[in-house]
Structure formats: C-alpha cells, structure tokens
Amino acid sequence: MRKLLMHACCAPCFVYIENDLRKNGLLLDGKYEKVEYTACFYNPNIHPKVEYERRKNTFKDFCAQKKCDFIVIDEYDLNGYIKYVVENVGKGKKYSYRCEYCYYMRLKKVFEYAKENNFDIVSTTLTISPYQNHDIIKKVGKKLEEEFGIEFIYIDYREHFREGQKMAREFGLYMQKYCGCVFSFDDGKWVY
Ligand code: SF4
C-alpha cells in the first residue's frame, strides 16, 4: 500500500478528507486507492501565536480522537514569513503574491519530511477550501513533485467544503474566522 503524507492546514479542513481517506482511500482519476495516510501540520505563519497554538492543538486532539497517524512540525516562524513577503513578493521576483509563497514554503517542508521518511505521495487539505487559489496550489505542488521526485496529488474537494464544516462543528472543533497569516487577519475576510 502506498504511503500518503497529507498536509493539514487545520483540523476543520481535514475532517471530511480524513473520513474519506479512512472509508474509501484516495480518489485518483475517479477511482479510490487505499493508502496508508499520515496527516502533517506545518503552518508556521499563523498569527497571532496563541491562534497558532489553538489550531495546532485542535488538530492534535482531532487526530488523537480519530486514532489517525499524524505529525506536527512545530516550527513557528512568523517573522521569517513576513520578512520574506515584505522584501520579495510582488516585486518581479519569484512569487507574484503572498499566498503563492505561503503554499510553497509550507508544502516544501512537507515534501522534505516525505522524502526523509519514505512517503510515496504528498497532498494537502487546502484544496477543500473555496477560498484558496487552486490553480496556484496545483502549480506549486507539481513544481515540488519534480524537485523531490514524490508524486503530488491534487484533488478538488471543494464540493464537500460545507459538509466538512458541518462535520467539524458536530465534532465540536474550534473553527477559525480567517485564513491564518497576519494579512488575512487584518483583512478580516478571505480575499487575496
Ligand atoms: S491568506 Fe492564507 S494562504 Fe494566503 S498567505 Fe495568508 S495564510 Fe497563506
């Protein structure tokens, strides 16, 4: 059975996907494949730190409750993220906007972990959210796939977003009101 490392941006976005992975497997080209899955929390730019801790702990509690394999890469780096965005993004350099860099730096770390620990596939729960830029996630994932030689699977879970949110509420999970970084906190809404 192939090993999947599923990047989890937060517990509420993981609920539907975890249930689907457990019951059916990973949906590949319209067919389910059973996989061994591990969820990986790596979201170092959540602001403020107390919110980071809250989302991280919600994720850990949820995984423990479901008895699903998980890891937390507990490296908080708000300063590094902000410095990079302010100095580089939108200035004709590598990343045209902050979310592209944000996807890249999170998924790169997940790929590194996958490489070191012999995973076959990487994916992310970001793709259940209608608020994220799916084309850019796909592009970033495919670039990392080439760089690391590990398959990146993009699945458009958006039609299940509301159901997932409902399931998360039923579990009594903490539900955040903004995407995560200080910019989205300041916006007060998920607009990029
Ligand atoms: S809005 Fe969300 S995806 Fe975009 S940079 Fe902020 S945390 Fe990352």
Give residue 93's pLDDT: 61
Instruction: State the CATH number of the domain containing residue 84.
Output: 3.40.50.620
Atom 3, ligand 1: residue with shortest CA distance: 99
80 lies in some domain: yes
Model confidence over 109-166: pLDDT tens digits? 999 999 999 999 999 999 999 999 999 999 999 999 999 999 999 999 999 999 999 9
Domain span at 71:
2-187
% of the chain with per-residue pLDDT over 70: 94
Residue 82 has pLDDT above 50, yes or no: yes
Is the beta carbon of 55 within 6 A of some atom in ligand 1? no
Domains identified in the chain, total number: 1
CA nearest ligand 1 atom 1, residue: 184
pLDDT tens-digit series, residues 11-26:
999 999 999 999 999 9
Cα separation, 26 vs 181, whole angstroms: 29
Work out the mean pLDDT of the chain and round it to a whole number. Answer: 93
Predicted local confidence at residue 29, as pLDDT: 84
Whether 192 is in a domain gets the answer: no
First and final CA of the chain: distance in angstroms?
A: 38
E strand spans, 9-75: 26-28, 31-33, 35-41, 70-72
In this structure, is residue 21 part of a structural domain? Answer: yes
Question: What pLDDT does 191 receive?
Answer: 41
Helix (H) or strand (E) holding 8: strand 2-8
Ligand 1, residues 7, 98, 109, 129: which to mutate, most atoms within 8 A of Cβ?
98
Q: What is the DSSP string of 166-186?
A: HHHHHTT----SS-SSHHHHH
